[in-house]
């Protein structure tokens, strides 16, 4: 799952930078278990990156 985690983090970074990310296209060939795990990790990384960005803007 390390490779999937790296990909989830990379796509979340792209999303945080304002670049378009089509998660359905990214996860299209994954089985349900991997897709569910990947989408959860992607959402978590997106949340973390948005919180970090908000903290940067506050200072």
pLDDT in tens, the chain (59 residues): 778 999 999 999 999 999 999 999 999 999 999 999 999 999 999 999 988 877 777 76
**First and final CA of the chain: distance in angstroms?**
35
Domain-by-domain residue ranges, the chain? Answer: 2-58
Phi, psi of 18 (to 5 degrees): 90, 10
Size of the chain in residues: 59
pLDDT value, residue 1: 73
Phi, psi of 17 (to 5 degrees): -80, 0
pLDDT value, residue 34: 95
Answer positive or negative: Cα dihedral of 36, 39, 45, 48: negative
pLDDT value, residue 59: 67
């Amino acid at each position: 799952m390390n490779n999937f985690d790296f990909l989830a983090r990379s796509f979340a970074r792209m999303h945080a930078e304002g670049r378009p990310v089509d998660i359905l296209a990214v996860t299209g060939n994954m089985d349900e278990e991997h897709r569910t795990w990947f989408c959860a990790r992607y959402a978590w990384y997106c949340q973390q990156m948005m919180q970090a960005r908000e903290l940067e803007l506050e200072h």
